[in-house]
Every structure is written in C-alpha cells, then in structure tokens.
Amino acid sequence: MDLKQLRYFVAVAEELHFGRAAKRLFISQPALSFDIRKFEEQLGVQLLARTNKTVSLTNAGQVLLGEARRLLLQANEAERMTVRSAHGLAGRLRIGFVNSMLYRGMPQAVKRFEADYPGVEIVLKEMNTSEQVHAIQRMQIDMGCAHWGNFPSDVISTPIFSEPFLCCLPAVHPLARKRKVDLRALAQEPFILFPRTVSPHYHDLIIAQCVGAGFSPLIRHEARLWQTVVTMVGFGMGVALVPYTLRQMQDPRVSFLPLMSETLMSQVLLLRRSGDAEPVADRFVEYLRDAGGKPPGNAHSSASRRPS
C-alpha cells in the first residue's frame, strides 16, 4: 500500500464515479480502473461495488476511506514541515498557557516570533496548570506557561516573571478613591475567588494573605477565570485580589489599586520536560519575556488610575 494508491482510492470513493475521479487526478479512466483493481487484489478485499451505472463503497471501503484520509493528511503535514525547514529554524511549537497570559504579552510574542521565523508554527492550547503538567508528560505540548504547583520530577519549572497583586474594586466603591488599599479594610467585603479545585495555589495564597491581615475573607462568589473575576467585580458583586497585568482589561466599571503591602506576588512559570533542550522553545521564551515579562515599572502610579 502506497500513498498514490490511497489518493486514487480516496478520489474514487469521494466521487463515486471513475470518470470524474480520473479527471480530478489528471489520469485516464482505464488507468485508474486498472490501478484500483490491482489495489483491491493486493489487499485481498473488494473496496468498491461496481455496476454499469453506479459505484458504491463496500463495508471494507468505508473503513479504508476514513483511515486513508487520515494517512494522507499526515503525509501532507510531513511534507509541509519539511518544506518549512528550508527557512532555517523550523518545526512546530505547542504551548500550553493559562488564560491570563493573553494579558502578559503572549499574542504579541507569537505574532512577532512567527514573522521573524516563518518556518516555525506555534500552536496555543489553553489549559490550567494541572492540565499542562499532564500534557507535558504525555508529550502533547512542548512547553507551558503556568502558575505555581507541585510538579513531578520529570517536569521542570523556571520563573519567567512575577508581579504584585492589586485590589480590584467596583469603580463606585468608597475605597476606589484612595491611592492604596489596606487589606484590613476589606475584612467585611464579599470576595470573588477561584474555587480551590481550579487553582489551589492562588486560592490558598489569597486566603493566607487575608488571614495574615487579621480576617478570614467572606467568599461570596467563585469564578474559574481571572477575566470573569474582574467582570463580576465590575457588576458590583464583590471585591478581589488580582495580578497586576489584569489592569489591561480596561473595564471602566473597575478600579485597580495597589495594596499597602506588596508581599502578595503572582508568578508565571515556564514548564518543560526534564532533559528537553529545544532551541525553538528557548528562542520563543526570549520573545515572551520581551513582550510581557518586564517588571511593571511604577506599578503604584499607573494602577491607581481608573481605566479609561
């Protein structure tokens, strides 16, 4: 069985007409009929039921059609990647990412990188930290951008960048007029937070920070994404502590203010398989650091302004 035989078979199976299939393949109809019959003899099964007027697939033909399409797609992909390698740095880079990376320069880094290295195709897969770890172990992604966690020995984590948490308040909240927020001032406020099952690290980190300030936060609502947390704050449903980068959401209903104490930090980690040394991935990390990994300058002055 070779690729030419599969292409010929798929053309006939899709057209269900030898004349149209031959025209599509730019060969003569007798040659196509001969090759298909030879293919059937080679396999020892009948793939097509023929009459003077119709052509139809047998059960064996139906099964082969699905497999043949899959194999031809894989062959085309292999050919495409080989051609792309002529540009130098080449291949495919599969990256897992937590959703907040969309505000940390990920889209800009991908756009710049693919423009500079047209031989590399980047595929993004949104996953939480736990999903990324499993995907790395199963070789379903090449690297991940995640938050803190307990990682197995075959997954290496390296800090990419960190930033302070901000207090996220409804723009009409009395505390929104202040330059900084004392965490103790939120003791009686309803909080919006991740469920612990979604992000144990951030959940425990925020709870511990509040307990250290002398109160246990009243968690009124739970959300799975940072963007959802900020949107719910904008609807006046509570307050939240969010990473600095979320200020880029620019929601006029929300104010982001620095905390009196900046001991609460959000860290993004690069996850890789132990022993991996992939130049393409290393190069992309440089672009990612440049696009979104820089420290947030004068965080206090910029974060205290209400988004416009």
Query: CB within 8 A of 34, min separation 6: which ones?
Result: none
pLDDT classification of 83: cutoffs 50, 70, 90:
low
Q: What is the mean pLDDT of residues 139-157?
A: 88
pLDDT classification of 85: cutoffs 50, 70, 90:
low
The Cα–Cα gap between 75 and 81 comes to: 10
| Dihedral angle over CA of 272, 276, 278, 281, nearest 10 | 0
Q: Which two tokens stand for residue 168?
A: 């996220």
Using CA atoms, how far residue 171 sits from 59, 65, 308, in Å, is 65, 59, 11
- Across the strands, what pairs with 267? 162
CATH fold group of domain 162-265+299-303: D-Maltodextrin-Binding Protein; domain 2 (3.40.190)
CA torsion through residues 66, 67, 68, 70, sign: positive
- Across the strands, what pairs with 219? 191
Q: Are 131 and 96 in contact (CB under 8 A)?
A: yes
| pLDDT tens digits for range 6-48 | 999 999 999 999 999 999 999 999 999 999 999 999 999 999 9
Strand ranges for 98-134 from DSSP E: 120-126
Average pLDDT over the chain, rounded to an integer? 86
CB burial of residue 68 (10 Å; 0-12, 13-18, 19+): buried
CATH fold group of domain 91-159+267-292: D-Maltodextrin-Binding Protein; domain 2 (3.40.190)
The Cα–Cα gap between 236 and 183 comes to: 18
Domain 3-86 - what CATH class? mainly alpha
Query: CB within 8 A of 114, min separation 6: which ones?
Result: 120, 121, 122
Pairing of strands 120-126, 91-97: parallel
Q: Are 257 and 180 in contact (CB under 8 A)?
A: yes
Q: Which two tokens stand for residue 29?
A: 């109809």
Domain ranges of the chain: 3-86, 91-159+267-292, 162-265+299-303
Task: Specify the residue for token string 């799975």.
Answer: 224
pLDDT value, residue 279 = 77
Query: CB within 8 A of 107, min separation 6: which ones?
Result: none
- Residue 282: which H helix or E strand, with range? helix 279-292
CB burial of residue 83 (10 Å; 0-12, 13-18, 19+): exposed
How many helices, marked H, and strands, marked E, lie in the chain? 10, 11
| pLDDT tens digits for range 249-273 | 888 999 999 999 877 888 889 999 9
Q: Are 262 and 244 in contact (CB under 8 A)?
A: no
pLDDT value, residue 82 = 65
CA 247 distance to own-chain centroid: 21
Which 3 state secondary structure label does DSSP give 104?
coil
Q: Which tops the pLDDT comparison, 154 or 80? A: 154
Is there a common fold for 91-159+267-292 and 162-265+299-303? yes
Q: With 0.75 as the threshold, say if the pTM is over it.
A: no
Task: Specify the residue for token string 């991908």.
Answer: 110
Q: What is the mean pLDDT of residues 80-96?
A: 69
The residue count of the chain comes to 308
- Across the strands, what pairs with 242? 166
